[in-house]
Amino acid sequence: MPVKFLLIWMLCVVLNRTDAYDFRYHNYSQITNFLHNIAAIYPMKATVFDIGKTEGGRSLWAIAISAYAPDRHVLLRPEVKYIGNMHGNEVVGLELLLSLIEYLLTSNDNQVVELINRSRIWIMPTMNPDGLELSRYGDCSTTNGRYTLNNIDLNRNFPDYFGTQLASPIRALETEAIMSWIGAVPFVLSANFHGGAFVINIPYDRYYIGKQSISSDDDVYQVLAKSYMTRIGEMSRFCDIKNDEVGTAVHGADWYEIIGSMQDYGYLNYGTIEMTMEISCCKYPTEDLLMPYWNVNRDAMIELLFQAQRGVKGLILNEYSQPIPFTQIMIDDRRPVINVTPLGEFWRILLPGVYTLKVFFRGYEVHRQPIVIQDVLIQLNLTIIIPQVAYVPYSFQPIRILSAFVTNSVQSLSLSYTLILLSLTLCTMK
């Protein structure tokens, strides 16, 4: 294409794009145009993926952003994701994510440049575009647009760890799409943006063992959640203190128990640090509040993305520099264990301290070593060599599956074992 025509084409794209910084609400068509237009402007830093289809036939768009190779997984580069609008009538998170996309791609801020150089950031502005189209401007509290077109609450629709019956016997198309996505990409950190309250919800969303609502990674969750809430605390002025839920970090089950949440599913089955951000007391506030919400949340959203750089990452290889299938890592006795990717990679978000890293092959411990996490946002980078003589003998033993709960150290998962195998055999979106 001649240079002059290329310049004219790029100018047309810029002039016709849907700009998130005008701080107005966007419908599904406008969201679609925005994502594709901005990816066309920044093709070296952004790629749009169609994760799946909704009940109404709409695409679940996710944009992947990185300073290099946004279209594929890169060895040891952490993958993180933000999702908005899971409930179609909770729209503030959607608009913040559109603004965040543009900010990440256009800002020359040193922190942003460093962030996209060190990670690949996935953003799905709306997980429920069908519900979005049914929601109502200015509606703070009703359920109009909350559900899918076949009346499913997506945050009650993910497989329960122990196989407890869900509210709906139907698995939504949207749920299936997200399950395939998170089974294919080794996400280290994830946040899901909701509205209707002003709290940060952390695992667990249900009581699995007695009244146990606290996960093994509660120290990490508390630091991340309280840091975010502290940064945006002034937004509580838009809440009704008498009637709205306003607080800091809360274990989901202690707030109100639900079964089938997305955050528990991602955490228990893949070890992803998953958080649910309730950031607006009104679900669909007036447009004049979008700019204040963005101004307050922007730095907190960036800071949270950086947390994927905490802790330890590395490779588990044999003496021939080959990945070892069916390998997992555990830090101390923290559950869940983390599946090593087909490339031999692992990540674990940790606070500074001294830990014991254990390596399991087919459920049998084959290696352990002490590790020291010193710096807050610089990961300890390890390459651990496991000689074949240490793990091959276990190839002839029955596979042991390590439970996510310490009280039952070895058991069969109620969730289909094929999902765990999927996480070991896929690591990039095609």
Separation CA 262–CA 274 (nearest Å): 9
Contact assessment for residue 264 and residue 208, using Cβ atoms and an 8 Å cutoff: no
Which residues does residue 81 pair with via DSSP β-bridges, in sequence order? Answer: 122, 190
Question: Quick one: 143 exposed, middle or buried, by C-beta within 10 A (0-12, 13-18, 19+)?
Answer: middle
Catalytic residue among 278, 287, 319, 365: 278
Two tokens at 90?
A: 């909770």
Query: Alpha-carbon distance 203 to 283, whole Å?
Result: 22
State the DSSP string of 250-294.
EEHHHH---SS-HHHHHHHHH--EEEEEEEESSSS--GGGHHHHH
Residue 126: helix, strand or coil by DSSP? Answer: coil
**Is 114 one of the catalytic residues?**
no
Cα dihedral angle (227, 228, 234, 240), rounded to 10 degrees? -120
CA distances from 82 to 25, 244, 264, 315 (A): 19, 25, 15, 26
Neighbour count for residue 55 (Cβ, 10 Å): 17
Active site residues: 278
